[in-house]
Chain A
Amino acid sequence: MSHSQKAAEFVQNEAKTNWHNETLWWVRNKRDISTQKIPEWEELRSLGSAVKENVMTNLADYLEEFEKNATANGIHVHWAADGQEHNRIVQSILEQHNAKKVVKSKSILTEECGLNHHLEDIGIEVVDTDLGERIVQFAKQPPSHIVLPAIHMKKEEISELFHKHLQTEEGNNDPQYLTEAARQHLREKFLNADVAITGVNFGIAETGGFVVCTNEGNADMGVHLAPVHIASMGIEKLIPRFEDLGIFTRLLARSATGQPITNYTSHFHRPESGKEIHVVLVDNGRTAQLGREKFRNSLKCIRCGACMNTCPIYRRSGGYSYNSTVPGPIGSILSPGFDLKKNKSLPFASTLCGSCSDVCPVKINIHEQLYEWRQVIVSEGLDASPKKFAMKVASKVLGSSKLYFSLGKMARKSLSTLPNKMIYNNLNAWGKQRDLPKPPKESFKEWYKKNRS
């Protein structure tokens, strides 16, 4: 289904659409308040963008530097060309340790690779330990937002899920009560895990270390209790120096939720004695995107989710309307790179309002890339033919002042003489819920000819 079909379904429930819209706008507002407290905010954005520009330009070198330093620290570094290879690598590490139980903190990359399904298929228990991710895992759904995975669910729905899976009291919707139940449940999982998997927010080439940001401390709980830590990292997550990190930790949490910093900013440099750390570096389409000049700086993304919270479309159509791992504006410029045909409606799910580009902490020109993807989709012949035909006609008419003049006159005349039934028929998407403008007797051109020339 295209984005427009899914969005049309979503807005049918107007009360829920309004609630979704207002909830995310509230997060956007918190972001505004916290960014306004920093006078140098715009400068920070420029710095963040420039540092990432450098990384994208010299990615191969930084990756090698990272591998060298991480290895010297006793971290095992693996390379995965795609999601499947990533999953196989994770599987082989689990097999080496005869691991059966895995706890995993938030990682959009492992969603992208389909890791949970892969591991579950071979009999491994994978427990997502981020509260929101655990909720959607219970519901057998993917996250609908990269920072707030269960933002589409109301507390009543969560209460129902917890009643079913955690035997909480039926109808008890108290967030405190529900969170406590999740906490007790997860504690038991943490204590018994053989391996902890985390994502990576920032890998530091200079030190070979990496940083994981969470609000719940769940990454730390997992990692400190389990003997083996596997960190899945997209190759674009690098920054050159330790001293660059502060730029990004300041940008990330403020953009994501309006917090000055995430509750936990955990640095991993080397394994504790007797333990292991593995980093799996994943490409999965990233070098291909790097090779697309107009789209390469989409790889600067630090996954803060601000572009989703600000997007007037996302807020009113929900994460699932995008039908891709990363929804919202950034997803709409990343996903066509993975599968152009499947995702061809996404770059059109935008008014090109530009709000995403202005909130983005690393200044990705998201709306301009949406425009560019549209050109690519059309030139690859993937646009629907009725529109193709309409566009060809439009360019003919608008390319000739004579045609434009006479056809414009005809159209205005027929609009004022045709019965409404013919104007507002089923084919007329404009007129389903909107009137057309009342056609004036004369166009400006006609008026000007009469009055001024």
Chain B
Amino acid sequence: MSKPKVGLFIPCYVDQFYPQVAIASLELLEKLGCEVTYPMNQTCCGQPTANSGYEHLNTSVNDLFVDNFASFEYIVCPSGSCTLHVKEHMHAEGKPNESLHVRENSYELVEFITDVLGVSEISVVFPHKVGYHASCHGLRGLRLGSGSERNIAQFNKPEQLLKTIEGLELVDLDMKDECCGFGGTFAVAEEALSVKMGKDRITDHIKHEAEVITGYDMSCLMHMEGIINRDGLPIKVKHIAEILNGAGL
């Protein structure tokens, strides 16, 4: 069987501020047997502008994205939010087929591992108490889990992988899928509320003695990390790709 050909899409803020998350994603996909390429001219998916009401300014961002990724069998991204934006809104003028291909073959990293690669176990060790943050766009947009609102059979793809990690203990939370208040420009436009939401989320994790909060969206983790560092709180954040790739605490 030939190797799945993956174009690695790294969100702009991950590229700039969290290269270790991108490196972990790359190495993890390679370990799992993929042929991974990072197209060098990529920038961003255009979500920050679109969610602020400026989707109409995204013409060149979209063109660039489709040009960079249309040739790959799969487009994989370590962010639920950016993936959702691509799947729902990516459209380059005059390139309907390429755009469609990009939308239909974009995957968030975890769902790519569980659904496309069919991997159900990750053999690394992480001997820590972990709180799992279900970021909203991945949860309710990409349906990475069943969510507490709907009355359907329960499932949770990221948790299912985390549970197979040796030594890793997932803590129960009071509110298992509450928003952390990041929300892109919401984080600055509604600063007071955003921070209050973030604090509430962190408090829930600390209350249940998690040593680290993990999740598939670094943006939510960056927001919570900002509060944790400012207030000197006894907890850390770590992207799920790092844990799945065997990083320590």
Q: By the criterion CB–CB under 8 Å, are A395 and B54 in contact?
A: yes
B225, A437: Cβ atoms closer than 8 Å: yes
Q: Report A-chain residues with C-beta under 8 Å of the C-beta of B32.
A: none
Q: Are A359 and B149 interface neighbours, CB within 8 A? A: yes
Q: Is the CB of A352 within 8 A of B137?
A: yes
Residue interface mask A179-202, B partner, CB < 8 A = 1? 000000000000000000000000
- Whether A408 contacts B51 in the complex (CB less than 8 A), given A351-B186, A444-B23, comes out as no
A358, A375, A453: the one contacting B149 at CB < 8 Å is A358
> Does B183 contact A429, Cβ atoms closer than 8 Å?
no
Most buried by B among A312, A350, A401: A312
Choose, from B120-128, B158-166, B189-197, B205-213, the stretch at the interface: B189-197
- Chain B 16-44, CB-CB to A under 8 Å as 1, else 0, gives 11111011001000000000001011111
Q: A290-318: which residues lie under 8 A (CB-CB) from chain B?
A: 310, 312-313, 316-317
- Secondary structure call for the A interface: helix
A404 interface residue (CB < 8 Å to B) = yes
- In the bound assembly, the distance between CA atoms of A397 and B43 in angstroms comes to 9
Per the bound structure, the CA–CA distance linking A36 and B150 in Å amounts to 8
Q: Please, which residues of chain B bring their CB within 8 A of the CB of A357?
A: 140
* B58 contacts A395, C-beta separation under 8 Å: yes
Quick check: B54 and A358 within 8 Å, CB to CB? no
A352, B51: Cβ atoms closer than 8 Å? yes
Q: When chains A and B are docked, how far (Å) is the Cα of A350 from the Cα of B190?
A: 9
Q: Kindly identify, within residues 53 to 88 of chain B, every residue whose CB is under 8 Å from any CB belonging to chain A.
A: 53-61, 63-64
- A445 at the A/B interface (Cβ < 8 Å)? yes
**Which of chain B's residues has its CB closest to A344's CB?**
B53
Q: Does A400 contact B (CB under 8 A)?
A: yes
Tell me whether A371 is interfacial, beta carbon within 8 Å: yes
Q: Which of B53, B140, B200 contacts A355 (CB 8 A)?
A: B140
Cβ–Cβ contact A371 & B51, under 8 A = yes
A439 in the interface, Cβ–Cβ < 8 Å? yes
Q: Do residues A7 and B52 form an inter-chain contact, with CB atoms below 8 A?
A: no
- A375 contacts across to B, CB distance below 8 A: 53, 55-56
Question: Total contacts A to B, CB within 8 angstroms?
Answer: 213
B46 with A351: CB separation less than 8 A:
no
B-contact 0/1 string along A88-114, CB 8 Å cutoff: 000000000000000000000000000
**A-side contacts of B186, CB under 8 Å:** 348, 350-351
Q: Is A81 an interface residue (CB 8 A)?
A: no
Contact partners of A412 in chain B: CB under 8 A: 16-17
Bound: A242/B66 CA distance, A: 51
Q: Does B14 count as interface, using CB distance less than 8 angstroms?
A: yes
Is B137 in contact with A435, judged by CB distance below 8 angstroms?
Answer: no
Q: Mark A201-218, 1 if CB is under 8 A from B, else 0.
A: 000000000000000000
B60 touches A399 (CB 8 A): yes
- Inter-subunit contact A443/B15 (CB<8 Å): yes
Q: How far is the CA of A350 from the CA of B186 in the complex (A)?
A: 7
Q: Is the CB of A443 within 8 A of B56?
A: no
Contact of A378 with B53 in the complex, beta carbons under 8 Å: yes
The answer to whether the Cβ of B179 comes within 8 Å of any Cβ in the partner chain is yes
For the complex, give the distance between the alpha carbons of A17 and B199 in Å: 13
Pick the contact of A25: B22, B175, B195, B226 (CB < 8 A): B175
**CA separation between A447 and B46, bound complex, in Å?**
23
Q: In the complex, what distance in Å separates the CA atom of A77 from the CA atom of B176?
A: 49
The answer to whether the Cβ of A349 comes within 8 Å of any Cβ in the partner chain is yes
Q: How far is the CB of B217 from chain A (nearest CB, A)?
A: 12
- Please state if B179 and A353 are interface contacts (CB–CB under 8 Å): yes
Q: In angstroms, how far is the closest chain B Cβ from the Cβ of A260?
A: 15
Q: Kindly state whether residue A417 has any CB partner on chain B within 8 Å.
A: no
Q: Provided the pairs A378-B52, A404-B43 are in contact, do residues A433 and B57 lie with their beta carbons within 8 angstroms?
A: no
Is A8 in contact with chain B by the CB < 8 A criterion? yes
Nearest-neighbour CB distance to chain B for A407, whole angstroms, equals 10
The 7 A-B pairs at the shortest CB distance, nearest first, are namely A351-B183, A399-B60, A434-B226, A378-B53, A374-B53, A354-B140, A353-B136
Q: Using A42-B150, A310-B149, A399-B60 as known contacts, list a sample of 12 further A-B pairs with CB atoms less than 8 Å apart, ordered by residue number in A.
A: A7-B193, A316-B200, A351-B184, A352-B51, A355-B179, A408-B15, A430-B226, A433-B195, A433-B230, A440-B18, A444-B23, A444-B38
Binding site for A on B (CB under 8 A): 10, 12, 14-20, 22-23, 26, 38, 40-44, 46, 48-61, 63-64, 136-137, 139-141, 147-152, 175, 177-179, 181-193, 195-198, 200, 222-223, 225-227, 229-230
11 contacts between A and B (CB under 8 A): A11-B196, A316-B197, A359-B149, A371-B51, A376-B53, A395-B58, A395-B60, A401-B41, A432-B191, A432-B195, A440-B19
